[in-house]
Structure 1
């Protein structure tokens, strides 16, 4: 089966590596590095969507088991699932897998991997 990832709009339009995403999100969260502090404050402002997760301007905020949060993207389209982001302290991880999830277990597993890496 062929799939055009642009069907997911912007989610399928970016081509990058996990290392590039780690660097980008680490830099993004430093005030005045990529965004003026006032705009970064808007990015950090989230609306709760459940389970301690907040949705904001282009990023999600997810709680860590060791305290604090990480901010970043995450999502899936048929065949791919990604999770990851960076902490305010500069730790970053992104995980991408090829999968067609049939339930939420794959997503929970990826979130557990991200949590373990960032809480190490």
Structure 2
């Protein structure tokens, strides 16, 4: 499998990051990953088809919000909190705070 591209922090742009979190499903994934735990793609649950969820994960990765790691046939994803906080100080905390208050993306969950 081809290794996915993860943009360096300097390559992350504000419009792309904001566009990535503008979708409620993607924002729900970010909220879920905000606990700084790596999650398996197959453990994520959202009210969309698996192919659609895969697309959402790609958008988050391409924007620089997440890091994807493959181990055998499984893929894992984690939030790139340190890179985001270094590039856009305070942005992630503000977005997560409002998303939590408004329950945006609460339909995204994880199988434990």
**Under a length normalisation based on structure 1, what TM-score does the superposition of the two structures give?**
0.29
Using CA pairs under 8 Å that are at least 6 residues apart, name the structure with larger relative contact order, 1 or 2: 2
Which one has the largest radius of gyration?
1
More helix by share: 2
**Under a length normalisation based on structure 2, what TM-score does the superposition of the two structures give?**
0.30
